[in-house]
Structure 1
Amino acid sequence: MTPLPPRKPLVEGDFSRPDGARHPHHPGDYEITDPAEIAEVEALPPPTGPDPHGGTFTCMCSEAAGARPVTPELLRLLDPLSPTGIPARHRARWVAAAPPELREYAAAWADGGEPGPETVPGVPLAVVFAWMGAVREEPRDAARLLAVRAPERILAAARTEDLAWAVRETGRAGLDAAVAFFAGEHFTTRHPKHRRVPETARGLLLGHARRHRPADLPVLERRLLRLPEDRIRRP
């Protein structure tokens, strides 16, 4: 028997509730790849145009243009604020995959909050880098913004010397996230004296960027300033 090809992911667009309420970390579009979830969506009424009551859900998964009419089942299934909907399931899976010491922090973000790093004192930054860089089975799902924003909030508040030590201690996935962070605005906008990175950490970041993230290399070469190893002490 010839195996069936994998189903093409559904790409869901923005959801506009009649009351204007939104989940602050819900992306403008996301993918649904789970076969059971795809089947649930495909069982909904097809797009027919704007709903006369003003509520619409734009779907990019169908060749038919338009928006699905707002029905109780659509609200339950695709509303980002529905506790049993697909976006909530994606967020729950992301929380479950978080490191144990960061799971409550992740859950607070998934609930729509923005807790700061003071809520997770003592969590090694190497663990945060690894969490941010972990390969996700569904990288384009409804939790994709959370997967960046939550760890980035902790990293953005950390001192450069602490981040540099974490670069030395993290693994491959964490190093990938570290390159993305050091090439991003949370680091590149720091004052030059706070962009001085010890040679070992700087070499790890540049080497990883050359091999795996070449688009980030020019930014790192400009923004990562050198700091002799004998000028730092382990935190």
Structure 2
Amino acid sequence: MMSMWRKMTDLFGCLTIAIVGVTQARADEVSTETNTNPIIVEAESFTAQRDDDVRRWHVIPAKDGSPAVAEADQRKQAAEGASNGAYIRLLPDTRVTHADKLIRGENFSPEAGKMAVISYPVEFKAPGRYYVWVRAFSTGSEDNGIHVGIDGQWPEHGQRMQWCQGKNTWRWQCAQRTEKQHCGVPMEIYLDIDEAGKKMVEFSMREDGFTMDQFLLTTDKSFRPE
């Protein structure tokens, strides 16, 4: 999957992010409007985190070897299948099962962009509709949702990204939870890019305990990650 790398500086030119293409296409071609090769980003490559006083994204395995973070993560099997040997998780995780108390603004955030926001600078070579896929590891119904936005904006079709199938394993998904479809409507998670240029793709908490390995952007609605 990771056949080539491209380093991008952030808005201030001091941080970098690794972007991966799934084919041998040149790095400057992977996000063009006419090229269907997707952009794949490692989740642990985020360049900024904010609104994280209640819940915070942790890189696992912890880069600093922190035993507290390692002990807090109960899903050791996730590390075995994680791309690049690392992933991120929203901690602490206090709503593990449906029986645990739901506390808005603490372990649940129905409103996008309010809690635990992480940012990734991405260079878009062309405008268009970019479908967002995320590779996540879910154990149940209380750690299977997230929001995605861009440049501090949280459009409707970036909210309530949802997983139902494939528990206790890594699974790619692009589906939006609705009032009628709690398991999500496929291909309804996307970002509309009005003009080419550098943008900040951002994710924010919906449920604590959410675990993410990679995300993918593609203009090809028929594309399915392996």
TM-score (norm 2): 0.29
Larger Rg computed on CA atoms: 1
Give 1 or 2: higher strand fraction: 2
Q: Which of the pair has the greater relative contact order for Cα pairs under 8 Å at 6+ separation?
A: 2
TM-score (norm 1): 0.28
Give 1 or 2: higher helix fraction: 1
